[in-house]
Amino acid sequence: MRMTNDRAAALRALHVPGRPVVLPNAWDAASARAIERAGFPGVATSSAAIADCLGLADGEQAPVEEMLAAATRVVRSVTVPVTVDFERGYRLAPAELVERFAATGAAGLNLEDSDPATSELVDPEEQVAFLAAVRAAALAAGVDLVINARVDAFARMAAEPQVKLASAIERANQYLRAGADCAYPIGVSEPPVVRSLASGIAGPVNVGLGLASPLTVDDLAALGVARVTFGPGLQRHVYGAFERETLPTLRPTR
């Protein structure tokens, strides 16, 4: 537990607005080792990418035992901190969530504020209570976890852009006050929106960067972002190249 807590402290310290920690998303032990060899200070996972490796759909369709086992394999394969995309906790009560998650050795986790079963936003007060309970359970167990609170207002709300922005900022600040370490509004890519989020949220902000995005990590740094991740995009890029470029060369020519 001492090593896990040390890694959590190290990961938390890397979240610096304007000098973001870049955490490529792994989908297995081999990809995690590649990320570490490339010199990144930490590894994130993607629930969608791991579920795909299991032959299952994202959205908590994979059994929690399999997702925890996958996280454990990633953690054991590297020496840097690992943060796990844990969706909305796989319907585990906070104390059980902390107990079972801590056994993986991971330093942090994402917890989202929409229901994977319905894709609908959870009431913010309910999410605040959930995050606070997870933090309290972790403190009671002596477990340090870097909680990255995913904010789904842009992805799930049917509203005008300014309404989504205001909701995302309000939700993020509530989650930070409840014990989260970082806020992760997904589905944002426009520089003015990212800048507004970074200035309006009273804590580190994580932005997901697509490989086809015109923005770069340096652009996000200049906008005040503290953490950059890539979701399942890296896995899809690798597998897409494998399917488009490698497999066709293996066919017989006559």
- The tens digit of pLDDT for each residue in 73-87 reads 999 999 999 999 999
pLDDT of residue 71: 98
pLDDT for the residue 253: 86
Distance set, CA 181 to CA 12, 112, 169 (Å)? 7, 13, 15
Q: Which helix (H) or strand (E) holds 45?
A: strand 43-45
pLDDT tens digits, residue range 151-167?
A: 999 999 999 999 999 99
The percent of residues above 90 in pLDDT, for the chain, comes to 97
The three-state secondary structure class of 208 is strand
Judge contact between 188 and 154, C-beta under 8 A: yes
Radius of gyration of the chain (CA): 18
Q: What is the CATH number of domain 2-237?
A: 3.20.20.60
Tell me the pLDDT tens digit for each residue of 7-43. Answer: 999 999 999 999 999 999 999 999 999 999 999 999 9
pLDDT at residue 1 is higher than 80: no
Q: What is the mean pLDDT of the chain?
A: 97
Report pTM: 0.96
Which structure tokens are listed for 170? 């309000």
In which band, very low, low, confident or very high, does the pLDDT at 218 lie, cut at 50, 70 and 90? Answer: very high
Question: Biggest alpha carbon distance in the chain?
Answer: 67
Mapped onto helix, strand or coil, the DSSP state of residue 228 is strand
Q: What is the pLDDT of residue 2?
A: 79
Q: How many C-beta atoms lie closer than 10 Å to residue 187's C-beta?
A: 15
pLDDT band at residue 107, thresholds of 50, 70 and 90? very high
Q: Sketch the domain layout of the chain as residue ranges.
A: 2-237
Q: Please, are residues 114 and 120 in contact by the beta-carbon 8 Å criterion?
A: yes
Cα–Cα distances (Å) from 187 to 136, 165, 170, 208, 215, in that order, read: 29, 11, 16, 8, 14
In three-state secondary structure terms, 161 is: helix
Query: How much is the pLDDT for 3?
Result: 82
pLDDT grade for 214, boundaries at 50, 70 and 90: very high
Cβ proximity of 11 and 214 under 8 Å = no
CA distance 161 to 163: 5
Give the pLDDT score at 58.
95
What pLDDT shows up at residue 254?
81
